[in-house]
Every structure is written in C-alpha cells, then in structure tokens.
Structure 1
Amino acid sequence: MTDSQNARAASLSHLHSAKLSRGDPLSTPIVMSSVFHLPGDPAGARQYGRFDSPTWEAVEAALAHLEEAEALVFPSGMAAISSVLLALLSSGDRVLIPSDGYYTPRVLLEKHLTRLGIGYDTRPTATFLDGGFSGYGMVLVETPSNPGLDVCDIEAVAKAARSEGAITVADNTTMTPYGQRPLDLGIDIVLASDTKAPNGHSDVLFGHVASRNAKMIETIREWRKLAGVIPGPFEAWLVLRGLETLEVRFDRMCSSAEIIASRLADHPMVQSVRYPGLKDDPSHALAKTQMLRSGSLIGLTLASKEKAERFIDTCPLIEATTSFGSVHTSAERRARWGDDVAEGFVRLSVGCEPTETLWEAIDTALKTT
C-alpha cells in the first residue's frame, strides 16, 4: 500500500478515541433508539431513527475516512445501488451497465425501472469503452467484473462518460478501498456491498455509497430518508467492528489468492484460471495500472458441472455459499445463477486460513474430482 493508505489504515481504529472524554467507553456504543428527547423546536437536534443515528454516523465516518469522500450507509449492497439509480435518474434517462457484472442490477432495471421510463443497455466489461457513452444519463462499471474478473479502464471510462454528461458510478465490492480507488480515477460515485470483505464475517447485510460531489450525496441522503432505506444500528456496529480489521484481512486474502491462483494455473485438473494478478491474464496489464492489489477472487474452470460441484463439496476448507469476502474461503458454481460462464466455472473466494494449509486442502479436493 501507499504511505497515505497505510496512514488511513493506522488511524481508522482511533477515529472514535479522538473525541473521547475521560471515562468514556473506548468502543463505539450501539445506540438502540428509534426516537430522541425532542422538546420544543426540533431544529438542530436528532429527531427520528429514520433520519439519522449515532451508530450510522460512526460507520459512515469510518467509510468516509477510507474513501476520502462523504459516505452514506444502506441495509444492503443492492439498497445502495437501487438508491443511486432511483435518486439520480428520471424518466427518459438511459443507463449503461456491465453485461457480465453482478446480475441483480440488470434484473432490477428490466423488471422495475423500465416501468418508470428508465432505459438501459449492457456492454461487456472488457470492451466497455467501445461504442462511447453518448445518450446515457448514467454509466455504471464493475471492475473486476463479478464473476468473470474482466477489467475495464476506470479512468478512461470516467473521462469519456463525463464528456457526454453522464454520471459515473463504480461498484467496488470486489476490491474495497484498500484494493482499488475509483474516486481517485475520476468516478463520481463509488458503491459497494459491505456484506462482503468490509464486514468480513458473514453475519450482516450492509452497503454504502461514497462521493466527493456534495450535491449528489445530498440527493441520495434525502432519498434514503424519505424512502426509509436505512440500516439498523446493530448492523452498523457490526460493520464498524469489521472495518477495523479489514486492512489486515484483505492483505492476507489477497496474498493467499496470488499464491493459489498461480498454482491453480499449473494444476492438471484445472482447464483455465482468471485472476488479474497472473501475468498471462488478459486483464493483467490494465489491472496493474489501477488496482493496488489483485483481489481475493479467483475464477477457475473445471471440466464439467459435476467436477466443479464435487470439488466444492469435498474440500473441507471451502464453504459452499453464494457470497464472498469473508474470513472463510468459499466457492460456488456461478452458472447455476444464469451467469454467462462455463458449467464448470467456479468463483473461489480466498479467506484468511493459513495459505499452505488451504492450498493442501484445495489440491487434494481437485485431485479427487
């Protein structure tokens, strides 16, 4: 990491203590209240739990610290995405999204936002710049794409889309602020599912939006307040606790993934591997210019659906789950959700287990598929 990244990581867990008086609790308290004492004129005071929360504000401060931008929290990653779309788009606007990214935003647009007069198009991540951005009110990128791990040039997309008047949005769920910084590359809004690595323990749904554009943030904040798209204080506290160890967890996960990906690429039972950190990966050269780490996700293709399922089911250090970014290694066969990947494609999310022990378990499971 850069010196500034190290400084942010070091000071993150001390944000709360800087405001303490003698005898105050060192850990951020959970404020479990939907109402606040509010006699007389309500202006300038906390009013109602749908408007704000001391516990939200603590995790928003931590996320803002990491993103170097104002942050708003939401009860899930999809709540963050849908809030950005609904708060900033109007009937007649058109959105460009990845054809190979997380599938739920495409379903949301097709089934619901098109009814409101919001149109959309899709484009592969690897060729996202092709065709330009004329006519779009918003351009959303997800890079590396989930699950295929293709990469697009964030800075080039931001510059070209802005020249056409489009709002630019980056889903940075796979990378976190420690692995990639879309706002520094010119993107207007970054969002993420903090259900994944930021929380890191598979026990809460959460999301956030961050931007250096004050007007956009205020519009999204008002949408959250009016629509009631709010997280609970306990969930916010869990994510705050997770953020304090994100740097060390993400470092371990990425370091292990780099080693395991290179070994998978040479494994006789593996047909192909996608990982931006591999020198022969199609995304490698571009990834080196905009990613601080290569990430903790690996895409590997086995010979068949059956071999992929057997690999996941027989490896004792792999959990068969549909999420990623946790302390435990997990995997799933993404074709079961309709993603445009081979039947034997496995998205492997490397966790925090000791690297060599994890590799031994993966190698043994592959050899028995």
Structure 2
Amino acid sequence: MKKELKTSTKVVHAGTSTSNQGTSINSNPIFTSAFHLKGNIENASHQYARFHNPTWDALENAIGDIEGGKVLIFPSGMAAIAATFMALVSSGDRILLQADGYYATRAFTENYLKKFGVEIHAVKTCDLPEQDFSKYKLTFIESPSNPLLDVIDIRQLAKHIHRAGGLLAIDNTTMTPLGQNPLSLGADISVCSDTKALNGHSDVLFGHIATNDDDIFQEIELWRKLSGSIPGPMETWLVHRGFSSLDMRLERMVSNAEKIAQQLVDHPAIKSVRYPGLKTDPSFKIAQQQMNMMGFIISFDLETQKSAELFLSRLNLITEATSFGGMHTMVERRARWGTDNVSEGLIRLSVGCENSNDLISDIENALKDLK
C-alpha cells in the first residue's frame, strides 16, 4: 500500500513535471495564445488561451491537492472574489457579509451588485453565530477577519447555513490552505488572495477559488472563460514557484509571530493585542480547534494616531506597507484608509521571515517611552 505523503512534501512536489529521463525538474511557463486544434475540438486537451493553459493546470492541481477540491486561478484576489459573486448571485438574491471584514469585498458588492437588485446585509463577526441565515443565497466571510483577527467556528456556521439552504464562502487569505482548510470544515468555497502568503514574495497579484461542488466549479469556470479574468503564464509560474516554499515560510513566520505577540501583550504602551495564538485572546479556543497554525498577523492598538505614527517612524527594519504575507515583515496603521471601523492607533503587523530577535529589537526600540 502506497504511503500518503505529508503535506509539507506535497507542497514542494505538487504540480511538478514527471520524472521521465532527461525531462525538466521544474514546470515551465507556456507562453502561447493558441494551440494546435485540428478536427474534433472535444479531443483537444487545450483549445484557446482564454480557456486554459498547461501552466495554469500545474498550479491548479498543486493548490487543489492541498485545498482538497478543484481550483480555478485568477489574476488577483479581488478577481477571485468578484468571480464568486458574479457567477453565483442573481438579481433578487440576498447575500450576507462581514461588517468587520475586508473592505474591498463590501465595496464590490455595494458598487456592482446592489444596482442589479442584489440585497446586501453585513453583520459583525461576533454576531454571526446568532444570525438567521434563511433566505440568504450566499454568506461570504473571512476567518480570521482582517484586521481584527476574530475567528468564527466554520463547521458550525456551515451547518446553520446549509440547513437554511444557502452557500458558504470563506476568504482564507490570512491563513492559506496550509493554515486552515475551509472545505474540510464544511465550506462550499474557499477563496484566497495568493498575492499574500501563498506566493509570499510580494511580487505578483494573484488569487484562486477552490470547491468540491462540481456545479459551483462549472459556474465560476464559465465566468472566468467569458469574462477573460485570467492570469498570465509568467505570473502563474511565479506563484507556483513561491507556493513550493509555503510550508517552510509559514513555519518561520508563525514562530516569529508567536514570540512577538508574547512580547507585545504586556507592554505598557499597548492598549490591546489580538493574536489567535494567545491564550488570552477571545478567538483562542475556536482557533485551536480548526486552524493548523495560529497565523503570522498580529493587530495591536496604540490608541491614538500620534502614538501609532511615532511608532512607525521609529522602525528601521520593518517595512510600512499595505500588504501582508511576504518574506519581509510589514506594518500599517489601518485607520489611515478610512475604510475599517477600527481605532486610530490600530497597527496590523504581518510578520515575515527575518530573525525573531532582530524583529523584537526593532519593535522594542520603536515602542520605547511611547505614551
């Protein structure tokens, strides 16, 4: 009986080429807009570059092996989110979102779905367990939420939603399919911005959806085909290359985040710290049950804009930027965008792969004498 490979091994080898004598170890990008297509098109593995590409196949198979479902890739995380809504929601449908989740998801639905007669409701993450899901076609949420890192029991949520006849989509960007597996917890769709940790090198915009429902897959695949919302082969290849090191990167990032969270939790300059791996965090119990790791994002509150900006100005090693999940540790005062209902002093810290002692020293120096 063939032994099942460990997930860390699968990530390295998933979607790579065969081991035939003299063939390339790596899967290479295929640059073409057309394929040889004689006679009966049904017999052709590939027909036209807007429909499919061998470079896509390799990455979709690789991610699908970890997601536990069939995967479709997109040119950005928002393209994957938009495809989910556009393919599955019709005029007259009701959808439920998080009021404290990713702003762009809410903005897309408000700007482009509402005018076509889709009814949109938003509730806070903490209120989801008591929500009545009847008459909602689709519930779309993040867990952990961004940026406050609230965690919802996905398995229980899926049961409630399915009992009411709806669909559940989980934005899994903050965890990636290695950190958490929404499909195995009962979600119908797992969405991820691979721009972030899955690629991990802050050099590509990318996204994917995964599902084990054939009807959902076909609807979203048709949307991608007809809308032309497709990634290029070079970007696809770069993400595949980044994906192969995901397990190793996450191991360092999460280990660093755990150490930094412990450093921050009792610091006198900090009003509060959110990290699911802290035993004192409201999300700790549920996170332990459904997440494979506690993540690399920490949110902490310096209460005022002045304190937050002084902290940021003192950092030497950590980069101020609006993304997360990269090799470099990145930090941001989230209220500067005016889109999140958070404290003016809330800091989102995305912990990278540097030495933890160097990161802690940089943070300590920036917090010194802060009031």
RMSD, aligned α-carbons: 1.4
Separation in structure 2 between the aligned mates of residue 79 and residue 20 of structure 1, nearest angstrom: 34
Which of 341-350 and 312-321 deviates more?
312-321
Task: Find the counterpart in structure 1 of residue 335 from structure 2.
Answer: 335
Question: TM (normalized to structure 2)?
Answer: 0.96
Given that 2:94 and 2:118 are in contact with CA atoms closer than 8 Å, whether structure 1 keeps it comes out as: yes
Task: Find the counterpart in structure 2 of residue 178 from structure 1.
Answer: 178
Q: CA deviation at 1:8?
A: 2.2
Given that 2:64 and 2:70 are in contact with CA atoms closer than 8 Å, whether structure 1 keeps it comes out as: yes
Q: CA deviation at 1:102?
A: 0.3
Task: Find the counterpart in structure 2 of residue 137 from structure 1.
Answer: 137
Task: Find the counterpart in structure 1 of residue 35 from structure 2.
Answer: 36
Separation in structure 1 between the aligned mates of residue 49 and residue 117 of structure 2, nearest angstrom: 32
Please give the secondary structure, in 2, of the residue aligned with 1:347.
strand
In structure 2, do the counterparts of structure 1 residues 368 and 62 end up closer, same or farther at CA, with 3 Å as the change threshold? farther
In structure 2, do the counterparts of structure 1 residues 75 and 303 end up closer, same or farther at CA, with 3 Å as the change threshold? same
Question: TM (normalized to structure 1)?
Answer: 0.96
Q: Return the letter of the residue paired with 1:198.
A: L
Please give the secondary structure, in 2, of the residue aligned with 1:136.
coil
Task: Find the counterpart in structure 1 of residue 6 from structure 2.
Answer: 7
5 Å-filtered alignment, 1:175-324, equals 175-324=175-324
Deviations 1:236-282 (A, max 9, x none): 00100011000010111111101100110111221110111111111
1:76 matched to 2:115: no
Q: CA deviation at 1:17?
A: 4.9
Separation in structure 2 between the aligned mates of residue 15 and residue 181 of structure 1, nearest angstrom: 17
Which of 227-236 and 13-22 deviates more?
13-22
Please give the secondary structure, in 1, of the residue aligned with 2:100.
coil
Deviations 1:177-226 (A, max 9, x none): 11111111111110110000000010000000001111111111111001
Q: CA deviation at 1:290?
A: 1.1
Q: CA deviation at 1:307?
A: 1.7
1:367 matched to 2:368: yes
Q: CA deviation at 1:368?
A: 5.7
Separation in structure 2 between the aligned mates of residue 131 and residue 14 of structure 1, nearest angstrom: 42
- Structure 2 unaligned segments of length 5 or more: list them: none
In structure 2, do the counterparts of structure 1 residues 227 and 18 end up closer, same or farther at CA, with 3 Å as the change threshold? closer
Q: CA deviation at 1:41?
A: 3.1
- Structure 1 unaligned segments of length 5 or more: list them: none
Task: Find the counterpart in structure 1 of residue 355 from structure 2.
Answer: 354
Q: Return the letter of the residue paired with 2:144.
A: P
Please give the secondary structure, in 2, of the residue aligned with 1:62.
helix
Given that 1:93 and 1:118 are in contact with CA atoms closer than 8 Å, whether structure 2 keeps it comes out as: yes
Q: CA deviation at 1:16?
A: 4.5
Q: CA deviation at 1:47?
A: 1.8
Please give the secondary structure, in 2, of the residue aligned with 1:72.
strand
Task: Find the counterpart in structure 1 of residue 160 from structure 2.
Answer: 160
Which of 26-35 and 15-24 deviates more?
15-24
Which of 153-162 and 285-294 deviates more?
285-294
In structure 2, do the counterparts of structure 1 residues 305 and 161 end up closer, same or farther at CA, with 3 Å as the change threshold? same
Separation in structure 1 between the aligned mates of residue 108 and residue 62 of structure 2, nearest angstrom: 29
Please give the secondary structure, in 2, of the residue aligned with 1:29.
coil
Q: Return the letter of the residue paired with 2:196.
A: K
In structure 2, do the counterparts of structure 1 residues 139 and 326 end up closer, same or farther at CA, with 3 Å as the change threshold? same
Q: CA deviation at 1:35?
A: 1.2
Please give the secondary structure, in 1, of the residue aligned with 2:121.
strand
Task: Find the counterpart in structure 2 of residue 27 from structure 1.
Answer: 26
Q: Return the letter of the residue paired with 1:296.
A: F
Given that 1:173 and 1:192 are in contact with CA atoms closer than 8 Å, whether structure 2 keeps it comes out as: yes
Given that 2:17 and 2:25 are in contact with CA atoms closer than 8 Å, whether structure 1 keeps it comes out as: no
Q: Return the letter of the residue paired with 1:12.
A: V
Task: Find the counterpart in structure 2 of residue 122 from structure 1.
Answer: 122
In structure 2, do the counterparts of structure 1 residues 133 and 31 end up closer, same or farther at CA, with 3 Å as the change threshold? same
Separation in structure 2 between the aligned mates of residue 348 and residue 331 of structure 1, nearest angstrom: 5
Detail structure 1 runs of 4+ shifted over 3 Å in the superposition.
Answer: 15-18
In structure 2, do the counterparts of structure 1 residues 85 and 40 end up closer, same or farther at CA, with 3 Å as the change threshold? same
Separation in structure 1 between the aligned mates of residue 190 and residue 40 of structure 2, nearest angstrom: 36
Separation in structure 1 between the aligned mates of residue 133 and residue 74 of structure 2, nearest angstrom: 29
